């Protein structure tokens, strides 16, 4: 970042968010839509050229937090507001600017993640002016849902900035819907009265905001595999994927057609790469040992059970990654144990693949960053 701040300072170790508990109405108890709303503006740098981002408003206020929590969250805010304007000083006042929405992920020392959703827009006014950004920090990964929330935010911003905060307060008090369910939020707008806004959480969101056309237009299949392997294994080496998996991936990718729709291409590419996880570590579900209210992953028996011995070196490296470690930590919780213990093996493997698909969405974003 050109303004001299270091996003890597965001190294906060904190407790996990409340366990998600589903009630009979299809809503999650104890989990909020979002942690924070930030309003980030640009200001002239002192005695220097260009602009720098700064937070002009935060909801909820930090004053209600304890000292330690406040210090931790200040590090989060420091990183988040920079991601709202990653271009650094390269800004100039504008008279026209089409609003845009994007997202980023903040990863903490324990591997847990928070999602940042950002809507940049040009505030109403006369003459040239700089954009401002509205940033939502949330534990929920669902780009489409928050895009709709930003539509409501932008609509209220056109009336008055003060109209945004009652809406966000109502949203924060609303229960988070489970995947596939809907929650309604009421919000008052002058001259329009009280509006009822329906927010539906998609049943599946792992391919939201993903378009592989750009990736395969810029890189060859072999180059995509190199990026994928380096991203998954968290290291840069010449050959990371087993030859059999590499050949299978290239074969699957070659079946795509030039005129395939975005949805068709996204699904084909994602399922091709997911086959790597299913074939190499898909047997993980049978290698947990019950311990009190949780389960413990049995790494030794898991490695011994790798079906294709040519995959063993790859698996040994993969289980050392932060991605796999976080995935296993989530599987070790009691909530997951009760869910999986009722499933037959075939159905379980299908559910496991879906969970890895969600992880793959994060991977796809990292791949695009390359």
User: Predicted confidence band at 119 (pLDDT cuts at 50, 70, 90)?
Assistant: very high
8 A C-beta contact, residue 118 and residue 103:
yes
Confidence of residue 147 (pLDDT cuts 50, 70, 90): very high
What is the distance between the alpha carbons of residues 234 and 229, in angstroms, rounded to a whole number? Answer: 8
- Res 25: pLDDT: 47
Cβ contacts of 108 within 8 Å, gap of 6 or more: 10, 11, 12, 13, 14, 114
Residues of the chain with CATH 3.30.450.200: 7-175
287-305: burial string, b at 16+ Cβ within 10 Å, e else: bbeeeeebbebeeeebeee
The secondary element (H helix, E strand) that includes residue 56 is strand 51-59
Residue 149 has pLDDT above 90, yes or no: yes
Please write the tens of the pLDDT for every residue from 234-259. 766 556 788 888 888 899 998 888 88
pLDDT bucket at 62, cuts 50 / 70 / 90: low
Residue 328's pLDDT is what?
Answer: 83
Average pLDDT of the residues in 302-309: 90
Residue 43: how many CB atoms within 10 A of its CB?
Answer: 11
> What average pLDDT is seen over the chain?
76
CATH superfamily entry for domain 7-175: Longin module (3.30.450.200)
pLDDT at residue 301 is higher than 90: yes
- If you average pLDDT over residues 143-165, what whole number do you get? 90
Average pLDDT over residues 283-311: 87
In the block, residue with structure tokens 């700064």: 54
Look at the pTM and tell me if it is higher than 0.75. Answer: no
208 pLDDT tier (thresholds 50, 70, 90):
low
pLDDT score recorded for residue 120: 94
DSSP line for 84-131: HSTTTT----BS----EEEEEEEE-TTS-EEEEEEEEEPPS-SS-B--
pLDDT in tens, 334-355: 444 444 444 434 444 444 444 4
Q: Give pLDDT, residue 337.
A: 42
Residues 6+ apart with CB under 8 A from 280: 242, 245, 306, 308, 311, 314, 315, 318
């Amino acid at each position: 970042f050109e303004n001299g701040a270091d996003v890597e300072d965001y190294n906060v170790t904190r407790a996990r968010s409340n366990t998600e508990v589903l009630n009979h109405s299809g809503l999650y108890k104890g989990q909020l839509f979002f942690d924070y709303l930030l309003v980030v503006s640009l200001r002239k740098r002192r005695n220097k050229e260009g602009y720098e981002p700064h937070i002009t408003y935060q909801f909820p206020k930090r004053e209600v937090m304890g000292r330690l929590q406040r210090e931790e969250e200040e590090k989060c805010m420091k990183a988040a507001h920079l991601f709202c304007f990653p271009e650094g000083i390269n800004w100039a006042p504008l008279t026209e600017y089409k609003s845009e929405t994007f997202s980023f992920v903040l990863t903490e020392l324990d591997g847990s993640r928070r999602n940042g959703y950002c809507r940049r827009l040009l505030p109403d006014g006369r003459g040239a002016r700089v954009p401002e950004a509205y940033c939502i920090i949330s534990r929920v990964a669902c780009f489409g849902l928050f895009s709709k929330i930003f539509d409501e935010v932008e609509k209220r911003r056109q009336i008055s900035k003060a109209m945004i905060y009652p809406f966000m307060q109502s949203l924060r008090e609303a229960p988070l819907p489970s995947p596939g369910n809907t929650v309604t939020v009421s919000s008052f707008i002058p001259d329009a009265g009280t509006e009822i806004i329906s927010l539906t959480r998609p049943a599946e969101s792992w391919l939201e905001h993903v378009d592989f056309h750009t990736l395969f237009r810029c890189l060859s299949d072999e180059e995509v595999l190199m990026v994928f392997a380096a991203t998954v294994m968290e290291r840069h080496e010449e050959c990371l994927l087993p030859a059999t998996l590499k050949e299978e991936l290239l074969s699957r990718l070659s079946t795509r057609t030039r005129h395939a729709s975005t949805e068709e291409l996204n699904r084909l590419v994602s399922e091709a790469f997911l086959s790597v996880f299913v074939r190499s570590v898909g047997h993980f579900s049978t290698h947990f040992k019950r311990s009190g209210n949780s389960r413990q992953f049995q790494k030794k028996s898991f490695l011994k059970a790798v079906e294709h011995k040519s995959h063993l070196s790859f698996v040994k490296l993969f289980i050392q990654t932060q991605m796999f470690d976080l995935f296993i930590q989530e599987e070790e919780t009691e909530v997951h144990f009760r869910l999986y213990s009722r499933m037959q093996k075939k159905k379980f493997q299908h559910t496991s693949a879906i969970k890895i698909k969600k992880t793959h969405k994060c991977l796809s974003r990292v791949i695009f960053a390359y």
